[in-house]
Structure 1
């Protein structure tokens, strides 16, 4: 292809690509992907996906023995966040932001109580993440 361009006498500089529908033109050397990833609709899409994932984790989280308050329950401490990382929006699901909350990772992977008995994990976060993956 490079030989064909050189033979026709055209310089290899800025090359615009024109779409057939709507007459939209963009320059390939300006990084249209970066502009697209910075846009508001992409942020909204990432926020919606992170929120949906957080809601599924809240639904799957185990109930706590909190009789008087739910402030420290796992379900109340799962939140979605969206922030700019590099050149793109990234969605996070934060579990147990409150340091006084019931330990979600102990419920996830299991633990030994003070008597030495092993309690197996519930793997609620792993199950939600596995169900969301693309195969």
Structure 2
């Protein structure tokens, strides 16, 4: 009976190479990127970057004529949070989770008032995002 020999470049089944140091185990079939992107330091980095971006967006947001309350002010409705998706941690900046405070995006992109006049957008969020962009 002839013995089967694997050709070069052909997979030979699951081959675990384990390296254990602290709470980290390296497995070749899983990929070290998965373990790295789900680690606590990456979460902390995503939190820090999302919070930094939220602070810059709050600073760029215009002040409004709030006569009675500042509850619906743009600056009070910009929040950062981090979520674990399948490939790792992702930081988000959410603008106006409160449905009553919907004027930030109207000021950002522009709008037409009830009389039909067009008000151009200020693009303050877009400017912050363009400054943070890496090419």
Under TM normalisation by the shorter chain, which class is it? 0.7 to 0.9
- Structure 2 residue 77 is the aligned partner of structure 1 residue 77: yes
Deviates more, 1:113-122 or 1:51-60: 113-122
Distance 1:53 1:60 in 2: 11
**Corresponding pairs, count:** 124
Structure 1 partner of 2:114:
114
| Partner SS state of residue 100, structure 1 | coil
Unaligned runs of 5+ in 1: 19-23
Deviation at 1:126? 0.8
Check whether the contact 2:74–2:101 (CA below 8 A) recurs between aligned residues: yes
1:47 — aligned with what?
47
Note closer, same or farther for the CA distance 1:30–1:102 as it changes in structure 2 (3 Å cut): closer
Secondary structure of the residue that 1:126 maps to in structure 2?
helix
Structure number with the higher helix fraction is 1
Change (3 A) 1:45 1:106: same
Q: Which residue of 2 aligns with 1:134?
A: 134
Aligned residues: CA RMSD: 2.4
Task: Note closer, same or farther for the CA distance 1:83–1:61 as it changes in structure 2 (3 Å cut).
Answer: same
CA distance in 1, matches of 2:47, 2:84: 12
Which stretches in structure 2 are left out of the alignment for 5+ residues? 1-6
Q: 1:30 and 1:61 mapped to 2: Cα distance? A: 44
Runs (4+) off by over 3 Å: 15-18, 24-27
Instruction: Give the secondary-structure state (helix, strand or coil) at the position aligned to 1:62.
Output: coil
TM normalised by structure 1 equals 0.80
**What are the residue-to-residue correspondences of 1:95-114 with 2, within 5 Å?**
95-114=95-114
